[in-house]
Structure 1
Amino acid sequence: MGIRYYAYPVLADDIELARQNPLDYMNNNPIVDDDDPDDDRLVLCLDKSWRYLQELFVWPNQYPAEPCLDLVRGDVVYPNGWQEGYRCHYEVLEPEAVQRIADHIGEIDKVDVLAMFLAHYGCPSTGGDHRDSHLREDVAYVGYHLEQAKRFVAMVAAAGHGLVYRIG
C-alpha cells in the first residue's frame, strides 16, 4: 500500500471544473480513453517516488525551487491523527504551468538522481549510511519514474492541456 501519486491531463477549458471537484474530474476524465484499460499513456503514476522527486526538484538547495516541483508539490494531511487515516492532496495545473515544467524537467536526469542519493545518504564506498544493496535499486526506481514524468508532461504540454494530480 502506501501513499501514491496519480496525474491526469485536463482540457484547458476544463481547468475550473477540475479545481471545483478534482476527484470527480479524475474519475470522469474525457481525455482518458476508457475503451482501452491497458492504455496508460494519459495517466501518470509516480507510485511512491513522488517524495524523492520533491527532494530532487529542490536539490541542491535551489531557491526558488525548480519549476518542476509544481508537478509533485504537496502531501497528505492527517486531520484526526494518523490512526484515523489521511486526506489526499489535490492540485490542478494550468497549461502554462505544465509547459514551464516541460521546459525544465528535461534538464534533470538519472545522474542527478544518483547525485541526490549520494549527497543525502552518503556514498557506500566511503562509509556513507545508504544501504549498499539498495542504492542501485533506489536510483533505478526514481530514475524510471522521472522518465515517465518527462514523457507524460511533454505529451500534455504539447497538446496544450493542464493537469490534475492526487497524492494519496
Structure 2
Amino acid sequence: MSSMRPLIPLLIAAGILLGGNGLQSTLIALRGAQEGFSASTIGLMGTFYFAGFLLGCLAVTHIMKAVGHVRAFSALAAIASAGTLLLVLVVDPVMWCALRLAGGFCFAGLFTIMEAWLNSGAANKDRARVLAIYRMVDIGSVTGAQFLIPIVGASGFAI
C-alpha cells in the first residue's frame, strides 16, 4: 500500500478533473435550457461531445507518441480549459457544439493519459487496487460536483 502513496496527487488531480467534467456536462444542459436552446439542440451538444470523445480515443496514442505524456496532457488541458471559458463568453448553439466536440476530444486524451500514468506508477500487485480507487474517485467526484449546481446556480460563470 505504501507503493501507492506517490499516486495520491494524481488521484486528487483526477478527482478535480473528472468532477469538473461531470459538472460541466450537467451544467451545459441546464444552461442551454436557460438560454432558450431547444431540447434537440441540447441533445446534439451531447452527441458532439461523444463524437469528439471517440475521435480523441482514436488519436491520443498517436499524440502521446509524438510529443510525450506531459506535453500531450498540458496541451489537452489548456484546450479544454479555454473551451470551458468560451462556453460562458459565446452563447451560441453552433459554437457550443464545436466546443463540445473539442472538449470531448480533449477529455478522452486526458483520461487516457491519467490512466496510463496510474498504470505505470502501480506495481503489478497493486494495479487492480489502484484502478478501483481511481473509479471510486471518478464516481465520487462526478457525483459530489453535482451538488455545486443548487448551491451556486447554473447561470453566470461562478461555477
- What TM-score bracket applies, with the shorter chain setting the length? 0.3 to 0.5
Which structure carries more strand by proportion? Answer: 1
Query: Could you tell me the TM-score, scaled by structure 1's length?
Result: 0.32
